[in-house]
Amino acid sequence: MVKKSLCGLTADEIFDLIGPLNFTSSHAVSISNSIYKKRISNISEMVKIPYRLKEELFNIAATGIYLPLASEVSADKSVKYLFRTDNGKQFETVYIPDNKRNTICVSTQSGCRMGCSFCITGRYGFRGNLTAGDIVNQVLAIPQADKVTHVVFMGMGEPMDNLENVLKACSIITAEWGLAISSRNVTVSTVGLKPHVEQFLQRSDCNLTLSLYSPFSTERREIIPVENKYPVQDIIEMMKNFPLKKKRRLSLAYIMIKNLNDTDSHLEGLKSILKGSKIRVNLLSYHPGNNDKNCSSPAERMQFFKHNLIISGISASIRKSRGADISAACGLLAAGLKQ
Ligand code: SF4
């Protein structure tokens, strides 16, 4: 019999597992607390659980918590971790400490099938979806787990291409019986699979960020192939019109590449598509891969974009670049995996 992995189950699903054995919903919550709050990887060490329940659990379940296989520390103290699932899927996770804000960047797939031309993860190919348990485990299994304040779904993979597992992981991460991290501190990124973006907006309270690259469809199509099927203009319109709950944040990630997407006309294009919206713009440096002749826009140009967006009534910020020296920065994950 294949044992059920407890990490990745909701409290209700844990109750479905143990209810027929005459245990109660409060036992199910004790199990979820042991997994998600105390990060206990061995059933025998679980707390507030009767001995008979532990014995039954041994027969039908495993905690599903597994450790990273390797790690690499950046000069800026970011740490990249390599994980491998039971069935051999590899993926990376990055922990980014920053004063009181400690962010973990999780993967949702091993590789990716979106094929964005600037992204090394895309070049690694697609090896499969991660389960909700694989996603949540990344937050639980790193040594800094108790320090994590923010979770971003910006590692390997396109989260909207693995929507059900991502939605479930978000609910476990934010639930009181789960990791109890505020949905305001959880952000999922996408290149824009429109029908799934719409479902995500409706079925989750977590933040959403859309990777733009260019405000012009013809240009974006060359870099982000999904633009051919789901034009970003339509997605931005949908985001603009979506009734937002208080403090939920929708944003655009704009990676700035010198002389490619940082011209005055790009700035005007950005202003035009965002006019009248509350969508925030995060400007990011570009990290070239090997043999890449492109380079990031200089800091002054990024400041120029930020200033002009702000005085046009669009909220904008420049995101600090972290972990580039260990290939942990945006678009570089998978650089350390076997191609
Ligand atoms: S940018 Fe994101 S969606 Fe595009 S290939 Fe890379 S991981 Fe996939």
Span 73-80, average pLDDT: 94
Which of 91, 92, 94, 116 is the best mutation target for the ligand 1 pocket, counting ligand atoms within 8 Å of the beta carbon and taking the most?
A: 116
pLDDT tier for residue 160 given thresholds of 50, 70 and 90: very high
pLDDT score recorded for residue 332: 57
116 tagged catalytic: no
Q: Average pLDDT of the chain?
A: 93
Query: Ligand 1: which residue has its CA nearest to atom 5?
Result: 122
pLDDT tier for residue 123 given thresholds of 50, 70 and 90: confident
Candidate from 110-124, 160-174, 248-262 with smallest mean pLDDT: 110-124
Q: Which pTM value belongs to this model? A: 0.94
Region label for 32, one of left (φ > 0), alpha (ψ between -120 and 50) or beta (otherwise): alpha
Query: Ligand 1: which residue has its CA nearest to atom 3?
Result: 158
Query: Given a cut of 60, is residue 70 above it in pLDDT?
Result: yes
Helix (H, G, I), strand (E, B) or coil at 55: helix
Query: Given a cut of 80, is residue 63 above it in pLDDT?
Result: yes
pLDDT score recorded for residue 334: 61
CA atoms within 13 A on the CB side of 225: 9
Span 5-25, average pLDDT: 97
pLDDT score recorded for residue 154: 94
> CA–CA separation, 5 vs 64, rounded Å?
5
Catalytic residue, chosen from 92, 105, 116, 119, is 92
Catalytic residue, chosen from 7, 112, 116, 330, is 330
pLDDT tier for residue 8 given thresholds of 50, 70 and 90: very high
From the CA of 120, give the closest atom in ligand 1: 6
Query: Ligand 1: which residue has its CA nearest to atom 4?
Result: 116
Query: Given a cut of 90, is residue 308 above it in pLDDT?
Result: yes
pLDDT score recorded for residue 125: 86
Instruction: Calculate how far, in angstroms, residue 195's C-alpha sits from the geometric centre of ligand 1.
Output: 18
Helices (H), 158-241: 163-174, 194-203, 217-223, 232-241
Instruction: Calculate how far, in angstroms, residue 155's C-alpha sits from the geometric centre of ligand 1.
Output: 9
Query: Given a cut of 80, is residue 153 above it in pLDDT?
Result: yes
Instruction: Calculate how far, in angstroms, residue 247's C-alpha sits from the geometric centre of ligand 1.
Output: 27
Which residue from 337, 332, 338 is spatially nearest to 118, judged by alpha carbons?
A: 332
Query: Ligand 1: which residue has its CA nearest to atom 2?
Result: 158
pLDDT score recorded for residue 293: 86
Percent of the chain's residues with pLDDT above 70 = 96
Helix (H, G, I), strand (E, B) or coil at 3: coil
Helix (H, G, I), strand (E, B) or coil at 255: strand
Instruction: Calculate how far, in angstroms, residue 309's C-alpha sits from the geometric centre of ligand 1.
Output: 26
Query: Given a cut of 60, is residue 167 above it in pLDDT?
Result: yes
Percent of the chain's residues with pLDDT above 90 = 84
All structural domains of the chain, each given as residue ranges with its CATH number in brackets, are 4-62 (1.10.150.530), 70-326 (3.20.20.70)
Q: For residue range 172-218, what is the model confidence (pLDDT) as tens digits?
A: 999 999 999 999 999 999 999 999 999 999 999 999 999 999 999 99
pLDDT score recorded for residue 75: 93
Helix (H, G, I), strand (E, B) or coil at 288: coil
92 tagged catalytic: yes
> CA–CA separation, 193 vs 208, rounded Å?
12
pLDDT tier for residue 328 given thresholds of 50, 70 and 90: low
Which of 91, 110, 112, 287 is the best mutation target for the ligand 1 pocket, counting ligand atoms within 8 Å of the beta carbon and taking the most?
A: 112
Which residue from 226, 234, 307 is spatially nearest to 273, judged by alpha carbons?
A: 234
Q: Which of 11-20, 110-119, 319-328 has the highest mean pLDDT?
A: 11-20
Which of 154, 158, 189, 229 is the best mutation target for the ligand 1 pocket, counting ligand atoms within 8 Å of the beta carbon and taking the most?
A: 158
Query: Given a cut of 70, is residue 327 above it in pLDDT?
Result: no
Q: Are 156 and 111 in contact (CB under 8 A)?
A: yes
> CA–CA separation, 198 vs 273, rounded Å?
19
pLDDT score recorded for residue 329: 56
Which residues does a 6 A CB cutoff place in the pocket of ligand 1?
Answer: 112, 114-116, 119, 121-122, 157-158, 191, 331
